[in-house]
């Protein structure tokens, strides 16, 4: 009968349990770090997409506002010489008109009578076009969502004075409009090294090329 050799014995149950515990702890740490890295990448991708979409929307708004007053030679129906409807434009809404087809001030085409405003309920910027679905048929569309705020500032010029006065309501002397959009981004978890707030503000200064003061500069 052979004697049992302790030197050739395998691992004890206690040693196996300790080794498995260490392996599980290491795997848990690796998975946690991997999950955080993946979440951070997804958030950054979402941030980039949100900012890109907001910048594109801001460019569209700016381009339309810049054309306000085109083809309008006289002030009629509350329209100022720069195309802004002063009675319906405020710090959070802008209403402007342009005679794109230059058809004797008959504004019945798409894009000739437009209002941009912010809707808090859906956190969206909306575009209301009085003739968007056809002459006399209004159309409201969402320009972009996940927006925290939309605001407008109006810069009025008098005579040849290059220094404007700023207000929250436009006048017939308004020659420039500042559009400010605050983008609502996803919150980033504390512990990833990024602090709140997670909102980014985009600003566009729009020159009203058809305003009287601006026409004098050409």
pLDDT the model gives residue 24: 87
* Assigned domain for 23 exists: no
- 20 in a domain, yes or no? no
Alpha helices in the chain (DSSP H): 13-66, 212-216
Specify the DSSP element, H or E, that contains 151: strand 147-156
Question: Is 6 among the domain residues?
Answer: no
pLDDT at 205 over 90: yes
Judge whether 3 lies within some domain. Answer: no
Position 171 in a domain = yes
From the number of C-beta atoms within 10 Å of its C-beta (0-12, 13-18, 19+), residue 161 rates as: exposed
- Contacts made by residues 96-100, CB under 8 angstroms, sequence distance 24+: 96/64, 96/65, 96/68, 96/69, 97/68, 97/69, 97/72, 98/67, 98/68, 98/69, 98/70, 98/71, 98/72, 98/210, 99/70, 99/71, 99/72, 100/67, 100/70, 100/71
Q: What is the pLDDT of residue 158?
A: 86
Residue 179 maps to a domain: yes
Sheet with 199-207, side-by-side order of all strands:
165-167, 147-156, 174-184, 199-207
Residue 21 is assigned to a structural domain of this protein: no
Distance CA 40, CA 191 (A): 11
Q: What is the CA radius of gyration of the chain?
A: 30
Range of weakest confidence among 49-58, 182-191, 194-203? 182-191
Say if 33 falls within a structural domain: no
**Which range marks the domain in which residue 153 is found?**
41-216
d(CA 78, CA 209): 19
- Tens of pLDDT, residue by residue over 137-171, are 999 999 998 899 999 999 999 878 888 999 999 99
The number of folded domains in the chain is 1
Provide the whole-model pTM. Answer: 0.76
Which one-letter DSSP state was computed for residue 192?
A: S
The secondary structure of residue 74, as a DSSP letter, is S
Give the pLDDT mean for 81-104. 89
pLDDT, tens digit, 9 for 90 and up, residues 13-70: 887 888 888 888 888 888 878 777 776 676 677 677 888 889 999 999 999 999 998 8
């Amino acid at each position: 009968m052979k004697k049992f050799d302790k030197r050739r014995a395998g691992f004890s149950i206690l040693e196996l349990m300790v080794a498995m515990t260490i392996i599980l702890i290491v795997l848990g740490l690796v998975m946690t770090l991997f999950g955080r890295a993946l979440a951070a990448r997804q958030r950054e991708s979402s941030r980039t997409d949100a900012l890109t979409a907001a910048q594109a929307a801001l460019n569209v708004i700016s381009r339309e506002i810049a054309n306000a007053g085109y083809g309008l030679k006289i002030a009629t129906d509350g329209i100022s010489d720069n195309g802004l409807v002063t009675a319906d434009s405020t710090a959070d809404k802008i209403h402007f008109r342009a005679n794109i087809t230059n058809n004797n001030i008959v504004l019945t085409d798409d894009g000739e009578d437009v209002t941009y405003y912010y809707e808090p309920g859906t956190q969206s910027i909306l575009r209301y076009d009085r003739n968007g679905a056809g002459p006399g048929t209004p159309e409201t569309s969402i320009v972009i969502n996940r927006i925290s705020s939309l605001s407008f500032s109006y810069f009025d010029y008098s005579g040849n004075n290059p220094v404007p006065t700023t207000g929250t309501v436009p006048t017939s002397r308004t020659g420039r409009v500042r559009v400010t959009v605050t983008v609502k981004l996803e919150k980033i978890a504390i512990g990833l090294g990024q602090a709140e707030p997670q909102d980014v503000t985009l600003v566009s200064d729009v020159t009203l090329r058809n305003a009287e003061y601006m026409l004098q500069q050409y």
